Structure 1
Amino acid sequence: MPRVILTVDAILRRALAGEDLSVDEGVALLHQTDADAIAAIRSVADELRHRQAGDTVTYVINRNINFTNICEQHCSFCAFRRDADEAGAFWLSTAKILEKAAEAVRFGATEICMQGGLNPEARVNGSSLSYYLQLVRAIKDEFPQLHLHAFSPQEVQFIARLDNLSWEQVIGALRDAGVGSMPGTAAEVLDDRVRRIICPEKIDAATWKEIVSTAHRLGMPTTSTMLCGHIETPQEQIEHLAQLRQMQETALSQGYGGCITEFILLPFVGEQAPAPLRRRVGRDQPDLDACLLLTAVARIFLGNCIPNHQPSWVKLGLEGATTALTWGCNDIGGTLMEEHITTMAGARGGTCLTPDRLIAAISSLERPHQQRDTLYRYVASC
């Protein structure tokens, strides 16, 4: 017997009643083109944001440190990676990383977000893990107050493969050295059809989920992301959200020490991406309307278990990210201080925003603002 899909009004009533939507219902919302239906979806997402996260818009003072762009992989959307002997390749010394961390502390940062390319030469005494632990300990020894949000599931798999270790061993060692949380990047879209085209050398969807779930079991919080607006379908977008929701429900029901702290939508920027994917996508900058609709549907689909939603001002620009705060987002992200991966792909949002600019954007919506830390705890004003 065919499944009956509810009308948009009925789906939204279910969401307002606190019920989780099915994949089919989420897809039905994403297929809407009628202006009134889209306005209703936005309104419900904004109401659920109010109920689930409140009216205060949060932000974090942080710094990105991309310590190398030398990478063994060749993702079709990436304009960041380089071979070691290629023009533009870089690999920061520990001293340079500490210099950047010191500047972040002077700026008032509470977080360092650190990720990099998969550089097979990054080893200490033949060990990949030892290299990463050396970076972590150097920062934590000098700046113990900083929260290290570092090393994606792809990097964990890379370290484990090179050193013949389990994911538990890698994550546990990083945690014990001072890593406080894991970025939920490298998720792209959790569908192997998509991954075979845009990132065929990356871990598959099942491996990404298993590494993140392992982090949760070991008490390490993670974030979650989706790279959207390229070759994926609305069905694949919602199935990605459904997998995140299931992982979070498992982490919460099992009482793991870690769980997903936030969801971040990352729209595709292709201006400097490799030509084959650019041609296939047919667009160099994000489609703001499509991104806002997906932002709203993500809030409706995930908000019961992942209450914190953040846009990417680097990809959407500050104006677009501010608009997303009225489509279900409750957090405007971080100051970043520098950003290479998206900027090298051709993003026009910039690489650094001061707290004053983030606060001004929030205030333009007549919503209160509040500095937070990585784990969404409020930070007292100086």
Structure 2
Amino acid sequence: MLTKISVEKILDRALMGYDLSPQEGVVLLQQTEPEAIAAIRITSDTLRHAQAGDTVTYVINRNINFTNICEQHCSFCAFRRDDGDTDAYWLDWTQILEKAADAVKRGATEICMQGGLNPQAQINGKSLPYYLKLVETIKQEFPQIHLHAFSPQEVQFIARLDGLEYTDAIAALQDAGVGSMPGTAAEVLDDTVRRILCPEKIDTATWLEIISTAHKLGLHTTSTMLSGHIESHEQQIGHLDKLRSLQKIAIEKEYPARITEFILLPFVGQEAPKPLRRRVGRDQPILQDALLLGAVARIYLGNWIPNHQQSWVKLGLAGATEALAWGCNDIGGTLMEEHITTMAGALGGTCMEVEALQGAIASLGRPYQQRDTLYQKVISH
């Protein structure tokens, strides 16, 4: 175990603008002494001030989870259903348009659209035309809305079913009106973890390849980590290191797009399938673990990915507000409805009013600002 002086040295290096090594990142995550953890928090918050400023941003958005029918069986997922299950659903075009219209009426600038991998979601025996119609249905009616849609897993699903290259699938979605790609389905970018957590999902290399392809094509992405289940500190830092490398490649090769933000998603196990729930041994995230990991993520990634948020759906609004003092500069979105985490047993709720987000930010004495998906200011009328 490295000494306290080493922690100070690591934090000093971070404050001088150096990128931490994976070994240094692991040392920070291993700290248990209140004094060391407080120093990590203060460093992360100082870097947040330098890298992202004091204004806390939020987005007015709506989630549309268009189906929960899924061919995969991830060990943490309480959302998926088989076709024919009593609570399986698959929204039709009218329902999707109603949800989009409601979002626009409530001031949304973004619709985030993801769903289960439903093999029947096809038009004329092809997967891509179905997804294109999902996009066009919304964009024809509401061209102003930003569509943040379809994870790397969904892109791989479409490409596999239709025998397409990832480039072609992404370019077609982009041409139809997709504005950015959610960096979900990342879970933990370590294949040892993935074999237990989500054995049918894409592997680490495929996730990285699809995100990098999106950047090459000019499609911005977000990045996420599902934390606090079976992964080690080394695997957490390995995940952050892969994200940092991906962003560095996008910047150094001057790709037209890059990662816009990092979002930590602490694991909610209450309704997770029993084997994983037993292995993890608790139903709700441990706030202190999430705060420390979020702070270390800022220290590790902040030079390259300046926008950080924690999920109020996972941690509750109080937890996400506390994270703003641990290196976060964004409190996320209104969501309007959220099924995936709620069905997992999260206590955060499914919808947040703008006033509640603003009030949480103001309670810390920090200014707030509405943003769009790509972190541009939105001037509300």
The answer, yes or no, to whether TM exceeds 0.5 is yes
In 2: Cα distance, 1:257 partner to 1:344 partner: 37
Whether 1:75 aligns to 2:70 is: no
**1:293-332 to 2 correspondence within 5 Å?**
293-332=292-331
Whether 1:115 and 2:114 are equivalent positions in the alignment is: yes
**Counterpart code for 1:157:** Q
Which residue number in structure 2 is paired with residue 220 of structure 1? 219
Aligned equivalents of 1:107, 1:323: Cα separation in 2: 27
Q: What's the CA shift for 1:332?
A: 0.2
User: Which residue of the partner structure matches residue 171 of structure 1?
Assistant: 170
User: Aligned partners of 1:18, 1:94: CA distance in 2, in Å?
Assistant: 49
What amino acid does structure 2 have at the position aligned with 1:15?
A
Q: Any conservation in 1 of the 2:4–2:36 contact (CA below 8 Å)?
A: no
Q: Which amino acid aligns with 1:147?
A: H
Q: 1:6 touches 1:25 (CA, 8 Å); kept in 2? A: no
CA distance in 2, matches of 1:87, 1:41: 48
The match for 2:40 is 41
Matched, 1:153 2:134: no
How far off its partner does 1:308 sit? Answer: 0.1
Q: How far apart are residue 258 of structure 1 and its match?
A: 1.1
**Contact residue 112 and residue 148 of structure 2 kept, 8 A:** yes
SS at 1:7 equivalent: helix
How much has 1:381 moved relative to structure 2? 2.0
* Cα distance in 1 between the residues matched to 2:193 and 2:266: 15
Secondary structure of 2:121's counterpart equals coil
2:59 corresponds in structure 1 to 60
Structure 1 unmatched ranges of 5 or more: none
Shift of 1:6: 6.8
User: Which structure 2 residue ranges, 5 or more long, are not aligned?
Assistant: none
1:348 and 2:347 equivalent?
yes
Query: What is the match of residue 237 of structure 1?
Result: 236
1:86 equivalent in structure 2: 85
Q: Which amino acid letter does the alignment assign opposite residue 312 of structure 2?
A: W
What is the identity, as a one-letter code, of the residue corresponding to 1:141? Q
Q: Is the 8 A contact 1:5 1:24 kept in 2?
A: no
**2:69·2:89 contact (CA, 8 Å) conserved in 1?**
yes
Q: Distance in 2 between matches of 1:200 and 1:41?
A: 34
Query: What is the match of residue 102 of structure 1?
Result: 101
- The residue aligned with 2:198 is 199
The residue aligned with 2:14 is 15
Q: What is the root-mean-square deviation in Å for CA atoms of aligned residues?
A: 1.1
TM-score norm. by structure 1 comes to 0.99
Number of residues of Structure 1 aligned to a counterpart in Structure 2: 380
3-state secondary structure, aligned to 1:137: helix
Match of 2:141 in 1: 142
Shift of 1:358: 0.3
Contact 2:114 2:149 in 1 (8 A): yes
Find the counterpart in structure 1 of residue 357 from structure 2: 358
Determine helix, strand or coil for the equivalent of 1:223. Answer: strand
Conserved? CA contact 1:295–1:324, under 8 Å: yes
Local SS of the residue matching 2:331: strand
Q: Could you say which residue in structure 1 is the equivalent of 2:270?
A: 271
